[in-house]
Amino acid sequence: MTTRSTILSLFIFFTCFATGFAQTSFTITETGNKISVEGTSNLHDFTLVSEELKGSADLFIEDGKITGIKKVVVTLKTESLESSKSGLTRNAMKTLQPEANPIISYIAFDMPSEGKISGILNVAGYDSDQEFDFTSKRQGGKLIVTAKGAVQFKDFDLDPPSALAGTIKVREDLQLEIVLVLEEDN
């Protein structure tokens, strides 16, 4: 084996070796997770919440900090989104049609810059490219990730809900916040 091929082989080995250890796989824990969708209508503000998130994340971690994303998958049952007001939950479900679209999902493959995550959000069977700001911190042996961003009904080809023959109308803009508690896979 020539010196050149030996050096190349060592370079490839150490590159693969280092990358393998930098990537860490996580699973979303069963408790502590939450997705909140905040919006407003011409009458009042509202929030839809679900704490029934599932999924996993393959992340590149360096010095306890997320430096890259291989893949993040988050899912929830559409019908798990609820408001403290049953009428609002009912109107949201009319718009989201959980019978035809039982799962809402976010699949991310990119971290375009520090503190940003980019992926595909699927709501009501419609895919939309979405980018969110995120922060992360270690807490009690777990990784807590919080992502926030703005979405609109039109991103998913949906009309905002209305009630009372259209006298109460939800505005187009929504704020989304996702809190994930991730546990490292063994």
* Tokens 């505005």 belong to residue: 171
Helices (H) and strands (E) in the chain, counts: 2, 12
CATH class of 25-184: mainly beta
User: In the structure encoding, which two tokens stand for residue 20, read together?
Assistant: 């393998």
Q: What is the pLDDT of residue 16?
A: 44
Helix (H) or strand (E) holding 113: none
- Domain extents in the chain: 25-184
Is residue 139 within 8 A of residue 133, CB to CB? The reply is no
Supply the pLDDT for residue 134.
Answer: 96
| pLDDT score recorded for residue 87 | 83
Residue 132 · residue 155 · CB < 8 Å: no
Tens digits of pLDDT across the chain (186 residues): 555 544 444 444 444 444 444 799 999 999 999 999 999 988 889 999 999 999 999 999 998 889 999 999 999 999 999 998 888 899 999 999 999 999 999 999 999 999 999 999 999 999 999 999 999 999 988 999 999 999 999 999 999 988 887 788 899 999 999 999 999 997
Residue 6 CA to residue 26 CA, distance in Å, equals: 35
